[in-house]
């Protein structure tokens, strides 16, 4: 009888904890979703409704806001520029950081631990600290108003190197590399045919983060790009804000348009990651 009471009390406590966790998760999800909801709903209202009250239902000014938005910016040019920059940064950064992480994970060379320690130190420093020096250097090299200084420095992404190196330490068997070397494979063949396929889940994860971060990047394009034809979509939306003064509906609509590609990329990446994890678990099982 006493044992039954203890079991029932334990079950009741577990149900209470589960209920509280569900409520907490729901609250966090609602708080996270609320800014996105406000952005979408506000993109359909005029200035008066946005400023004067809290809007819950969609309005009837979407077409007007779109007309005001396209009057001050070329959305297709902004999307094209953002895609070119984001794809270039993602591809170059992913390839070279994986190669660097592979060297740190599987090669033994003098100064390896020291160099990896340097990467860890610079990973902890905010990038804004060197923005003035970076601007002066690009200005001295006469590379202003170019995508080149926005793309090439992405090769030195310290966090990506650390992330891939940690993944390779646990998911890339050294014996597999040694077997490939004994079979006469060259290092470049090992990297492309063995390392990259095994590191794909980590690559997809980091590539999604890199693409989204580059797409939403504002500071570096702001200080390096001068011609409006080369502006990314994020910069163009900021220009609309300055040009239209108080066209909040148009600004919100521009934000919604800029968010759509990142949501699509994130959904695609999440699906790929889950598929890779499922395949890996099935193989291990």
Does 147 lie in the same domain as 37?
A: no
Count of structural domains within the chain: 2
Residue 144 neighbours by CB under 8 Å, 6+ apart: 138, 224, 226
Q: Are 76 and 61 in contact (CB under 8 A)?
A: no
Q: What is the pLDDT of residues 129-187, one digit of tens each?
A: 778 888 888 888 888 888 999 998 888 889 999 999 988 988 888 888 888 888 888 88
- Are 35 and 104 in the same domain? no
The reply to whether 15 and 146 lie within a common domain is no
**Cα distances (angstroms) measured from residue 170 to each of 94, 180, 195, 237, 251:** 19, 19, 13, 43, 46
Residues 91, 168: one domain?
Answer: yes
| In a shared domain, residues 237 and 150 | yes
Task: Give the domain extent around 34.
Answer: 2-42
Verify that 97 and 161 share a domain, yes or no: yes
- What pLDDT is stored for residue 285 in this prediction? 42
Q: CA 87 → CA 92, 98, 150, 211, 213, distances in Å?
A: 8, 16, 12, 7, 11
Could you read off the pLDDT of 23-72 as tens digits, one per residue? 999 999 888 888 888 888 888 888 878 877 778 788 888 888 888 888 77
Total residues found in the chain within this entry: 285
Number of other CB atoms surrounding residue 45 within 10 Å: 24
Per residue in 182-224, pLDDT (tens digit) is 888 888 898 999 899 888 888 888 888 899 889 988 888 888 8
Lowest mean pLDDT among 120-124, 126-130, 184-188: 126-130
Percent of residues, the chain, with pLDDT higher than 70 = 90
Q: Does any domain span residue 239?
A: yes
């Amino acid at each position: 009888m006493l044992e039954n009471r203890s079991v029932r009390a334990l079950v009741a406590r577990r149900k209470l904890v589960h209920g509280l966790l569900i409520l907490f998760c729901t609250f966090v999800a609602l708080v996270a979703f609320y800014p996105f909801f406000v952005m979408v709903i506000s993109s359909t209202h005029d200035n008066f409704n946005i400023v004067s009250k809290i809007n819950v239902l969609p309005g009837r000014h979407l077409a007007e806001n779109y007309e005001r938005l396209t009057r001050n910016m070329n959305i297709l040019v902004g999307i094209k520029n953002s895609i070119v920059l984001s794809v270039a940064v993602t591809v170059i950064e992913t390839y070279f950081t994986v190669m660097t992480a592979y060297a740190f994970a599987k090669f033994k060379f003098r100064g390896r631990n020291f160099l990896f320690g340097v990467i860890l130190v610079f990973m902890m420093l905010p990038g804004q600290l060197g923005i003035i020096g970076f601007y002066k250097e690009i200005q001295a090299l006469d590379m202003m108003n170019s995508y080149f200084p926005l793309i090439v420095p992405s090769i030195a992404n310290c966090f990506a190197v650390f992330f891939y190196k940690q993944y390779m330490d646990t998911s890339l068997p050294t014996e597999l590399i040694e077997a490939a070397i004994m079979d006469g494979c060259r290092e470049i063949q090992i990297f492309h045919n063995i390392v990259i396929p095994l590191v794909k889940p980590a690559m997809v994860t980091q590539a999604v983060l890199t693409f989204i971060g580059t797409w939403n990047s504002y500071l570096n394009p702001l200080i390096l790009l001068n011609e409006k034809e080369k502006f990314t979509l994020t910069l163009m939306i900021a220009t609309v804000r300055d040009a239209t003064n108080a066209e909040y509906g148009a600004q919100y609509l521009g934000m919604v348009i800029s968010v759509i590609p990142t949501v699509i990329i994130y959904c695609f990446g999440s699906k790929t990651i889950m598929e890779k994890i499922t395949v890996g678990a099935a193989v291990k099982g």
